Chain A
Amino acid sequence: MTLNEKQKQNEELNREFLRRSGVNVSKCYQCGKCSAGCPVGDHMDIPTNKVMRLAQMGLIEDAMKSHAIWLCASCTTCTTRCPKGVDVAKVMETLRIMAKEHGYVAEKNVDKFHSVWMGIIGTMGRMYEPGLIVGRNFSTGKLFQDTSFGIPYIAKQKLKLVPYKSGNMNEIKSLIAKAEAMDREERGNK
């Protein structure tokens, strides 16, 4: 497929991406400083500057399919040091959100983690780590992974076994529902 055909296919996604990120990706001059300082750089399938390049070329689908956007630790070193003032971390974040919505999740575990996390907050208002570990393992199908992570914490009396539950769960639930609705709305129109 020619480049222009591919860009044409991505037109709608690109518009959505530009609107939601609010980042002027054309400012990027591909110096590579974002990739150079990225603490996860070694593990990414494509370096940060190439994610930027895909965004710049309007090839949003390819960018959404990458593992890199999920490995990004949101440390914002890239944004901080960018000589052109491009919010690179925001590009990564927007691509993550869009990838989830459009069904391109290259790193299922990362995504599941976020889902379980949000699920717990949605029911209790606060985090409940044992729930996180079990829930995550349950949903990934790896039931006993990282119990090495949970059990030592229990031994050190660091995990509360009885969860806190907010007395105002209705308020928090409604808050989450409204925020999600607003996010959906922004995705759809404007």
Chain B
Amino acid sequence: MERVGVFICHCGSNIGAVVDCAKVAENVRNYPGVAYSTDYKYMCSEPGQEMIQNAIKEHNLNRVVVASCSPRMHEKTFRACVEKVGLNPYMFEMANIREHCSWVHAGKNEEATEKATDLVKMAVSKVCKNEELQKGHAPVTKRALVVGGGIAGIQCALDIANNGYQVDILERTPSIGGKMSQIDKTFPTIDCSACILTPKMVEASSHPNINLITYSELEHVDGYVGNFEVTIRKKARSVDIKKCTGCGTCMTKCPGKADDEFNMNLRKRTAIYTPFPQAIPNKPVIDRVNCLKFKSRENGKDVCGICSKFCPTGAIDYEQVDELVTEKYGAIVMATGYEQFDHSIYGEYGYGKYPDVISGLHFERLVNASGPTQGHIVRPSDHKEPKTVVMVKCVGSRDPEHGKSYCSRTCCMYTAKQATMIRDHCPDTKVYVFYMDVRTPGKLYDEFYNRTREEYGVEYVRGRVSKIYQDGEQLMVKGEDTLLGKQVEIAADMVILANAMIPQTDSEKMAQIVGIGYDKDGWFTESHPKLGPVETHTAGVFLAGACQGPKDIPDSVAQAGAAAVKVCALLSKDQLETEPTVSKVDTKICSGCGLCVPVCPYKAITLETIQERRAGKTIERLVANVNSSLCQGCGACTVTCRSGAANLKHFTNAQILAEVDALCQTIL
């Protein structure tokens, strides 16, 4: 027998001045199920809550409705309140008569009172159908996976490891280090990128709690918070990493040549290679696309094998195959970083065809002492030192029509940094920077930018560049100085474009594998833009670094630390509490059609075989089964289910229909 207590809150005059609260209490007093009804000035106050608790005891109430503000405000408060006197917290409902009534219908007291009555009746009807629900529990695997071995991934792994938890770093290239290892100097301090990164890489590789899984890809993710099962593809290195000592003989002997992607194709590398000298692990892989042996095998021959002949430890293994391994983790951190926007979509900048129009990352390799030019700034076409350099900002950024609508956040600073580096290396070279705005809101950033102009003599021209074209050996850059209101044309020897940051090309696929959201550009979405910047909507999956949006090194490192704390907080628990408002399948009615399986965004539903006795025989049939730890309670499956077998607890068909009917009864 339902015994509902109804409590109408005045919220001072917030509700009371518009809604006649006493009348609402009176209106529902005889409504089916209602055993007690009253109103009070402040229901959420200490005396208000006591009033509810006393009424529960005195009137033997087994369900409670409070009509006051939004449940987003005080549902938690009142659930706790009724729980204290032994009521199940899910035997409680709220009617929102403030945000949805008194505040939006000022002066319409009669109608507002009628509406409040309707809302209370709806809540009463629903609460009568409510069932007691218990929070669930799930165990926790005390190990984390960090996907991506750039600075964000490394930092995050170190922070987790230093808190005493096991952590794996999954990296798709042969070495950890990421984009930061390609960068020469870092702003605003101009310290050497490798000098601050390499120690972290070494620390990560030698940390007892960290395990590196390089040259490997994320293949599949199953499970749920605390209990992920991750399948990883370990790509065939063709080198036995246990036997290899990293002596490097193979690389000096290899006759195969390939574009050196680490050096932005500014030079060639061998087919057996490590991406850069400080690579970790410092053990090579064979690039099978460019290896002479593997190429010859495609034509039915089997030549070369030089690396194998020279390897002193016999580590070369041409027969290695990709290996799939499945590991268990309690938490996953996505730290997959960014890619550089491809400027070859811009016809007005030459469709990427002019050799001396390069990107910022190209420049980093050009100016790096271990790079293809030993750090001499020369232009790619003829290896001459440029006497005039034009830098163009916002290439691909802030260009909704042809590129990306967002600001890439880092370009203003790296352009300023690169401009000062040119002036340092080649004091006779003139540097012009075309800009729309200079955005330098970091610590010591604006000071740096101002030094670029004032002390380094870099010329900043306010305006976008309309066209770059080859004019003999030079590049003509046609821009506008909008401050002068005049067109300017600069004959340049080299042009450096500040390309936008974009997500990894397969970021959307990654997000789908892990089951997290991504925005229109492919950046992973955080659970709340302000208050949940490193969490995702999928419990147990966190974000670090530029995979969430353009970020510089300090921001990436800070976010990595934040993600690590969230991971540690999760791993520190022995058991996780789970929300009971999840979907449930009535196997008696389920026909096993499987329609609900693909609509579930959390892959929480699987088809399982059950055994049944029917007409004296044991038969087997398929039914849907909801993993209550994975289910987040959206209800997509309940609507998809044709037989009505799937139902969402606390928002069941019966509960919602009760509300609909309650409202409509007022019409009849």
Contact = CB atoms under 8 A, between A and B. Distances in A.
Pair from one complex? yes
Contacts of B479: 32, 36
A71 B463 CA distance: 22
A6 B315 CA distance: 81
A36 B466 contact: yes
B295 interface: no
A32 B481 CA distance: 8
Nearest to B462: A32
Given A36-B463, A50-B485, A84 B401 contact: yes
A33 interface: yes
A47 B403 contact: no
A41 B436 contact: no
B134 interface: no
B348 interface: yes
A173 B447 CA distance: 68
A125 to B, nearest CB: 39
B485 A83 contact: no
A78 to B, nearest CB: 9
Interface string B384-406: 00000000001000111111000
A49 B400 contact: no
A83 B486 CA distance: 20
A5 interface: no
A37 B482 contact: no
A77 interface: yes
Interface in B453-512: 462-467, 478-482, 485-487
Interface in A14-61: 29-38, 41-42, 46-47, 49-50
Contacts of B398: 29, 83
A37 B467 CA distance: 7
B402 A33 contact: no
Given A33-B466, A36-B463, A83-B398, A41 B348 contact: no
A126 interface: no
Given A32-B463, A35-B487, A38-B487, A83 B403 contact: yes
Contacts of B403: 83
A118 B400 CA distance: 39
Contact of A37 (B400, B478, B485): B478
B464 A83 contact: yes
A102 interface: no
B485 A33 contact: no
Contact of B463 (A35, A77, A82): A35
A100 interface: no
Given A38-B487, A49-B480, A81-B348, A32 B464 contact: yes
A42 B478 CA distance: 12
A85 interface: yes
A159 to B, nearest CB: 36
Contacts of A29: 398, 436
B401 A85 contact: yes
A145 B465 CA distance: 38
Given A42-B487, A47-B480, A37 B466 contact: yes
Interface in A113-151: none
A38 B480 CA distance: 9
Contact of A31 (B400, B463, B478): B463
A139 B529 CA distance: 65
Nearest to B399: A83
Interface residues of A, number: 22
Task: Report which residue of B466, B478, B481 has the largest number of chain A beta carbons within 10 angstroms of its beta carbon.
Answer: B466
Nearest to A83: B399
Contacts of A84: 399-401
A36 B401 contact: no
Nearest to B479: A36
Contacts of B467: 36-37
Nearest to A78: B466
Interface in A65-88: 77, 81-85
A54 to B, nearest CB: 13
B461 to A, nearest CB: 9
A31 B436 contact: yes
B400 A83 contact: yes
Nearest to A33: B464
B465 A33 contact: yes
B255 to A, nearest CB: 47
B482 A49 contact: yes
A20 B186 CA distance: 51
B628 to A, nearest CB: 48
Contact of B401 (A32, A37, A47, A82): A82
Given A37-B348, A46-B485, A31 B401 contact: no
B403 to A, nearest CB: 7
A47 B462 contact: no
Contacts of B436: 29-32
A94 B449 CA distance: 41
Given A50-B485, A77-B466, A81-B466, A36 B400 contact: no
A77 B464 CA distance: 14
Contact of B480 (A33, A46, A82, A85): A33
A41 B485 CA distance: 10
Contact of B402 (A36, A41, A46, A83): A83
Interface in B161-182: none
Interface string B310-342: 000000000000000000000000000000000
A83 B401 contact: yes
Contacts of A41: 480, 487
A35 B483 CA distance: 12
A50 B484 CA distance: 11
A37 to B, nearest CB: 3
Nearest to B398: A83
Q: Which of B436, B478, B480 has the most chain A CB within a 10 Å cutoff?
A: B480
Contacts of B465: 33, 36
A93 B458 CA distance: 39
A82 B466 CA distance: 9
Contacts of B481: 32
Contacts of A77: 466
A47 B464 contact: no
A83 B400 CA distance: 6
B487 A31 contact: no
B482 A30 contact: yes
B348 A32 contact: no
A33 B394 CA distance: 12
B464 A36 contact: yes
Interface string B18-59: 000000000000000000000000000000000000000000
Contacts of B462: 32
Contacts of B486: 47
A83 to B, nearest CB: 4
Interface in B345-400: 348, 394, 398-400
Interface of A: 29-38, 41-42, 46-47, 49-50, 77, 81-85
Given A31-B394, A35-B480, 5 more contacts: A30-B482, A31-B463, A32-B436, A49-B480, A85-B401
Interface of B: 348, 394, 398-403, 436, 462-467, 478-482, 485-487
5 contacts: A31-B464, A34-B466, A41-B487, A47-B482, A83-B399
The 3 nearest A-B residue pairs measured at CB: A37-B466, A32-B463, A36-B480
